[in-house]
Chains A and B, each alone.
Chain A
Amino acid sequence: MPRKAKDLDWREFFIEQLIRLMGVSAVALVLLIFLFLVREGVPALFEVPLSNLLGQRWYPTFDIYGLLPLILGSLLVTIGAIALSLPLGLATAVFIREIAPDWVREVLKPSIEIIAGIPSVVIGFIGIQLVSPLVRQFSGAPTGLTALTGVLLLAYMALPTIISIAEDALDAVPESYRHAAYALSATQWQTIWRVVLPAARPGIITAVMLGVGRAIGETMTVMMVAGNAARMPLGWDAFLRPVRTMTATIAAEMGEVARGSTHYHVLFVVGLALFLLTFVINLAAALSIFRERRGGGGRFLA
């Protein structure tokens, strides 16, 4: 029994509205996350003077909530991790896209997806068991749970993000660029170094930014291996001392604070700061993607 056309119209309309609602829900969720972070965090701004929040010491038991050591801790491990993983990741992406024979590519790509799939708590566990003893041995530091240990593991965790996006960027460079370079008798390496990489630069910048976002938001691994000392990470040996990031602070302390206390509200302020930080980083990454698309090169988010 075929349905009447009128029924069909009504059904179409209803389903279309429902699906549109589902699409728009993503925007609603971002606003909702922001709203709840603000709702739980803003009381802290009335309870704690700004000079305290901007201080250099974090001792919640004595109502001292200086966020600076946490922010610098996050920056230190993030910058360290990206400095390590960018060259390594970029080289791997070049290898996969430009050099590797097909069968090697078939092995490498799933391996990198597996790295992306390893839970951060397992990486942290490996860090405690295997990496931190090595760090202690080679550095002579009194403990192996240092910023450097965090950097090494975070770098490894940022690799899949950097490799896959850099590879997309290399892939988006038109083949004609390479042919033109070969026609001018450039070697394959000269083509990669002087033509392909510069042409892929916007995409590589996106890869770096998303890698930064990944590293700065990583929680369990840094909490487990970076030593968790909330001190200003300054001085030449900062990498060889324990450090405390914003994410680790929230994860370590939220379980023990009383709901509605000042400490609780301040932890939400830390969360809000993280949210805004990653928001800006991702927005910048997205804008560089959109700019590139308009240029006709990129194929991200197509």
Chain B
Amino acid sequence: MKVRRYTTQKVAFAIITAAAVGVVIPLVLVLAYIVVQGIGVVKWEFISAMPRGGMREGGILPALVGTIWLTIGTAVTSIPLGVGGGIYLSEYAPDNSLTRTIRMAIINLAGVPSVVYGLFGLGLFVIFLRFGMSIIAGSLTLGIMTLPVIISTTEQALRGVPQSFRVVNASLGGTTWQGIRRVTLRQAIPGIMTGIILGLERAAGETAPILFTVAAFFLPRLPHSVFDQTMALPYHLFVISTQVPGMPIQIQYGTALVLLVFVLTMNVLATLIRRYYRRRRQW
């Protein structure tokens, strides 16, 4: 009997371990494959030149610059509102039905499909507010999509700060806001930064929300203002991998590689910040 119990355990653990390995192996293989296939074309010219010859030659500069603009625009629109919302939920919100409604709203914002954000951005920013297809319309759409991530991570980071910090602030005659600005928020900054970077990472890689709000199929010049349309890396990858016949495969892999590096650098940065501060934290 005893032997059989442990045999069952061995079999079960073997299956579970295989499942976990099976989750990670494709990731490693695919990342390695994209690097091997794409690294050949990713030279300085590829990221610094305009596309030529129906995008089959030249570089991806306008798409890269467009994605940088959109990422900055997303940061500008989502950080103040997101951090503010997180502060409210952690430091001010009483336990009442309004607060529960806000929490429900945030959960639902987080679950709205990205293409529906695209429709919303089209209806509100592009048409109703007459921004047209523009960086500002795309940034606002991506910013709203990113909001729930920043709100919840900010709230969690602030809640991680021990209550004694707030008590000490109050005992020294500090007001609530003084306590937040000088004590709690400063302690929570690493956690908030991590959340912001992860949110921006997701926004930078999104395609569906920018389809109808900003992304241009082919526009070989750099944007001059936030009211310009622009190309963007994720949409560019979609275009060259599905819409352009006879597209050289290396350019497709090269573009995928640049997009992955752009996005995963942010991912790694967030992980490093979290690790570094967790180790240094005194409480």
Give the docked Cα–Cα distance between A159 and B24 (Å): 11
A-side contacts of B172, CB under 8 Å? none
A26 contacts B92, C-beta separation under 8 Å: no
- Partner among B19, B104, B234 whose Cβ is within 8 Å of the Cβ of A92: B19
Asked if A128 meets B108 with Cβ closer than 8 Å, knowing A15-B177, A113-B267, A121-B234, the reply is no
Query: Interface code B50-92, partner A: CB below 8 Å = 1, 0 otherwise?
Result: 0000000000000000000000000000001100110111011
Name the interface size band of chain A: 35 or more
Interface of A is mostly: helix
B-side contacts of A267, CB under 8 Å? 119
A-side contacts of B41, CB under 8 Å? none
| Inter-chain contact total with CB atoms closer than 8 Å | 252
A-side contacts of B116, CB under 8 Å? 33, 37, 217, 250, 271, 274-275, 278
Stretch at the interface among A48-56, A61-69, A186-194, A233-241: A186-194
B260 within 8 A of A: yes
A45 within 8 A of B: no
A11 contacts B111, C-beta separation under 8 Å: no
Asked if A88 meets B22 with Cβ closer than 8 Å, knowing A23-B84, A275-B112, the reply is yes
B225 within 8 A of A: no
A117 contacts B108, C-beta separation under 8 Å: no
The smallest C-beta distance from B271 to any residue of chain A, in angstroms, reads 6
Which residues of B104-121 are within 8 A (CB) of A? Answer: 104-120
B114 contacts A217, C-beta separation under 8 Å: yes
Give the docked Cα–Cα distance between A89 and B23 (Å): 8
B242 contacts A224, C-beta separation under 8 Å: yes
A274 contacts B85, C-beta separation under 8 Å: no
B9 contacts A22, C-beta separation under 8 Å: no
Which residues of A70-126 are within 8 A (CB) of B? Answer: 87-89, 91-92, 94-96, 99-100, 107-108, 110-115, 117-122, 124-126
A219 contacts B208, C-beta separation under 8 Å: yes
| A-B pairs with lowest CB-CB distance, top 3 | A217-B113, A119-B205, A22-B84
Which B residues fall within an 8 A CB radius of A?
5-6, 8-9, 12-13, 15-17, 19-20, 22-24, 26-27, 30, 33-34, 80-81, 84-85, 87-89, 91-93, 98, 101-120, 122-124, 127-128, 144, 147-148, 151-152, 159, 175-177, 198, 201-202, 204-208, 211-212, 234-235, 237-238, 241-242, 249, 252, 256, 259-260, 263-264, 266-267, 271
Q: A121-B234, A189-B8 are in contact. List 4 more A-B contacts (CB 8 A).
A: A112-B23, A130-B33, A190-B5, A268-B119
